Structure 1
Amino acid sequence: MPNTKRACLLLLSLALVSSCSSQAQNDGLSSSTSSAEVHAQGVPGGVTAEMEQITAVISDIDYKKRTFTLQDQQGHRQTFQAVPEIRNFPQMKVGDRVTATVTRERVVYLREPGESREDGAAGVLATAPEGDKPGMMAADTVEVTAVVKAIDAAKHTATLEFADGSRKTVAVRPDVELKPSYVNQEVVIRLTSAVAITVEAP
């Protein structure tokens, strides 16, 4: 799926809206993406983050059908239907500016011996007070643990085994020394996604 289509569906579906128009009526809204990576020299793992943002203006709205059309600066248009959870839909107006931002963060590190495990998921959802312009923030975190089953110094890769028995071989950064002691150590992978949507009058 192209980035613009994927971003639009991800951002606005998380905002409790769903596409209601036919493909012929939808161009797919443009998005901007930025990313960053942080790690300590020689230390396995690190943090990667990506932010994706859509900014568009409401060009049409139907209060009876609870639908609205967004148009970005490139002229791309897409129509959405507000589900009942959007209590403040009547506050939306043509010309309002909608900004949706999704942030994804991945943290990977070797678990220290004796460190507690927290495999699972957690989430939070907050919406604008009734009577205000629609807006929301949602975030969820998933943490999984894998075990280093093998290392390949020549290819500079490590093979990880997950709880379901599946295995995946991953490339290791060149600055990280693949020590034999890493075999059978646990690798923590924590994924956090957050979405924020605001609607502002012109």
Structure 2
Amino acid sequence: MPAQPSRSTLPGLLGIVAALATGPALAQSAAILDAGGATAIVETIDMRDRAVLLRGETGNLLTVHVPREVRNLPQMRPGDRVSINVVNTVAARIARPGEPLPQSTATAARTAAGERPGGLFVDHQRMRVRIEGVDAPSNTVAFIGEDRVPRRMTLRDPAMQALLPSLRVGDEVDVTFTEAVSLRVIPADQGRRPPA
């Protein structure tokens, strides 16, 4: 059963990675902003404080305080490998007239009780902006968001630049920023052959 992550879960996982290493008639576009991953080795586990000491790929140490929502912490062992992957994307599409405002959502899936900790966390931050100006030759767009602050942005990704010719002043565009984080604990002995 998917569980709702706390708002602090995703930024925490993203911090660990950093420390360790639509219909067809509407113009739409998407781009990957950032993708990466890290692997660390579990050094120690303090069950009372729910603190895990990880050693990163370069030997750096990081203590992670594991929230109570991670129900399988007792199945983690020193020597296990923790693999974390993160993908950040942005997508944009022209909103239809009268279409309701987009809603931000967060979902999570975690391993079954009794297995090693792991899961997938996906956070969609959605907003609607109004186009105030488009300069296709310089790949810039001016817009006003929900906070009513005017902004100008240069689009550098070719997939996002492809949206510019279809934009007109006054268009409303739904923008979705997505962070997807997967975490997997790999047993220390997985992949090792027994002695002959």
TM-score bucket of the superposed structures, by smaller chain: 0.7 to 0.9
Q: Aligned pair in 2 of structure 1 residues 10, 103: CA closer, same or farther (>3 Å)? A: farther
Contact 2:134/2:167 (CA < 8 Å) preserved in 1? Answer: no
Specify the SS of the correspondent of 2:127: strand
Query: How many residue pairs align between the two structures?
Result: 172
Greater relative contact order (CA < 8 Å, ≥ 6 in sequence): 2
Alignment partners' CA distance in 1, 2:163 and 2:114: 57
Q: Aligned pair in 2 of structure 1 residues 59, 114: CA closer, same or farther (>3 Å)? A: same
Contact 2:20/2:57 (CA < 8 Å) preserved in 1? Answer: no
- Render the CA deviation track for 1:139-179: whole Å, top value 9, x for unaligned: 12122111112345775533201233111012256976977
Structure 2: unaligned runs, 5 residues or longer: 1-7, 189-196
TM (norm. structure 2) is 0.72
| Cα shift at 1:63 | 2.7
Alignment partners' CA distance in 2, 1:46 and 1:57: 38
Within-5 A mapping of 1:186-201: 186-201=172-187
Name the residue aligned to 2:146: 163
Alignment partners' CA distance in 2, 1:103 and 1:89: 25
Alignment partners' CA distance in 1, 2:165 and 2:90: 23
- Taking every aligned residue pair, what percent have the same amino acid on both sides? 24
The range that moved more, 116-125 or 189-198, is 116-125
Name the residue aligned to 1:68: 52
- Render the CA deviation track for 1:101-131: whole Å, top value 9, x for unaligned: 11111012333x4472442211212221111
The range that moved more, 79-88 or 90-99, is 79-88
Structure 1: unaligned runs, 5 residues or longer: 1-8, 20-26, 31-42
